[in-house]
């Protein structure tokens, strides 16, 4: 089980969190203007690296706040935890 450092609460067990997939995906500024291809990319395509990955987690059984985690998807090593709005370290 992962020990995830919530930026507000500190390290807690993975079972307290919900996963939110890739971080830093912006909603299209003008959804009506995008092409089908761009819309498909926004809806369905996410990075899937074997290595460092910036992802969202929600501390759903704790402070209930979203934050971002930089984690290695091969080793599960957690490289950084940072708040929403902060740039990827």
Partner 1 sequence: MAAPQQPEHLWRTPEPKRAYDVVIVGGGGHGLATAYYLAKNHGITDVAVLERGWLAGGNMARNTTIIRSNYLWDESAGIYEHALKLWEGLEDDLGYPIQFSQRGVLNLAHSLQDVRDSVRRVNANLLNGIDAEWLEPEQVKEICPILDISPDVRYPVLGATFQSRAGIAKHDYVAWGFARAADALGVDLIQDCEVTGIDVHDGRVTGVQTSRGPIAANRVGLSAAGHSSVLAAMVGLDLPIQSHPLQALVSELLEPVHPTVVMSAAVHVYISQAHKGELVMGAGIDSYNGYGQRGAFHIIERQMAAALELFPVFARAHVLRTWGGIVDVSPDASPIVGLTPIEGLYLNCGWGTGGFKATPGVGWCFAQTVAYGAPHPLNAPFTLERFTTGALVDEHGAAAVAH
Q: How far apart are CA 47 and CA 23, in angstroms?
A: 10
Please answer whether residues 89 and 78 qualify as being in contact, where contact means their C-beta atoms are separated by less than 8 angstroms: no
Could you say whether residue 32 binds partner 1 (CB under 8 A)? no
Using CB under 8 A, which of the segments 25-33, 59-67, 70-78, 80-88 binds partner 1? 70-78
Antiparallel, parallel or unpaired: β 66-72 and 10-13: unpaired
Residues 6+ apart with CB under 8 A from 27: 42
Could you say whether residue 36 binds partner 1 (CB under 8 A)? yes
Could you say whether residue 64 binds partner 1 (CB under 8 A)? no
For partner 1, the binding residue among 10, 25, 28, 45 (CB under 8 A) is 45
x/- track of binding to partner 1 for residues 11-30 (CB under 8 A): ---xx--xx-x---------
């Amino acid at each position: 089980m992962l020990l995830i450092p919530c930026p507000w609460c500190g390290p807690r067990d993975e079972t307290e969190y919900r996963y939110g997939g890739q971080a830093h995906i912006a909603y299209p500024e003008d959804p009506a203007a995008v092409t089908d291809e761009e819309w498909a990319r926004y809806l369905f395509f996410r990075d899937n690296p074997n290595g460092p990955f910036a992802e969202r987690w929600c501390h759903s059984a704790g402070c209930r706040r979203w934050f971002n985690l930089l984690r290695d998807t091969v080793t599960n090593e957690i490289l950084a935890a940072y708040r929403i709005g902060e740039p990827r370290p």
